[in-house]
A and B are shown apart, each in its own frame.
Chain A
Amino acid sequence: QVKLQESGPGLVNPSGTLSLTCSISGGAVSSSNWWSWVRQSPRKGLEWIGEIYHNGETYYNPSLKSRVTISADKSKNQFSLILTSVTAADTAVYYCARRRRFGDLFAFDIWGQGTMVIVSS
């Protein structure tokens, strides 16, 4: 059974860099799935941030693209999120999730428990 666990600082300074890691157990980051980051805040609800495929291919939400980098480390079986130049608007619960293919269809079928990140000095 695949499980995901987010980790990283819970407090980030304004204008600083948010860095989170998602560790995968029971499965491999190198498998044929997309590995995604989604955040949730009272202001914007659920918002997809971006994703990475096992071959390193990445896609990002256009509204965040200039500030986001998602990478994967096969040796550690984890993938990571970097969000630069953060503001209070980036305060949210950050989830990592697996986007799985069901034939020609897709959905986020496995989610981490989420980690709260507050942007504040």
Chain B
Amino acid sequence: EILLTQSPGTLSLSPGERATLSCRASQSVSNNYLAWYQQKPGQPPRLLIYGASYRATGIPDRFSGSGSGTDFTLSISRLEPEDFAVYYCQHYVSSSPMYTFGQGSKLEIK
């Protein structure tokens, strides 16, 4: 089972700043089966990025995903007030199948 470790646990930034969140896999992720989700209190996760770098429908272009192998990054270029939330990465193994999530990174207002 591939484990996903996200960092930092909490990131404190101000609106307008750039956020960079990391997701590291314990083994290489095949075919970039890596997605990112945003979750706000009392709401379900919302798909932001799939395939490591493809934005889901309706996601603003200030959100971008990158990486390959074991290291992946979610970047938010200019933080808006509504971007402060918890972010999760998620991996998919096609052969099983099996899905695992990272423990989350909280983005809070400084």
Contacts and interface: CB of A to CB of B under 8 A. Distances in A.
What is the interface residue range for chain A against chain B?
Answer: 20 to 34
Contacts of A111: 44-46
- Chain A binding surface, main DSSP class: strand
Contact of A45 (B31, B56, B97, B104): B104
A48 B104 CA distance: 15
A83 to B, nearest CB: 17
Given A95-B44, A111-B45, A114-B44, A106 B92 contact: yes
Interface of B: 31-33, 35, 37, 43-47, 50-51, 54, 56-57, 88, 90, 92, 96-104
24 contacts: A45-B101, A45-B102, A46-B104, A48-B98, A48-B99, A48-B101, A59-B97, A62-B98, A95-B44, A102-B50, A102-B54, A105-B32, A105-B51, A105-B54, A107-B35, A107-B51, A107-B90, A108-B35, A109-B47, A109-B50, A111-B44, A111-B45, A111-B46, A112-B44
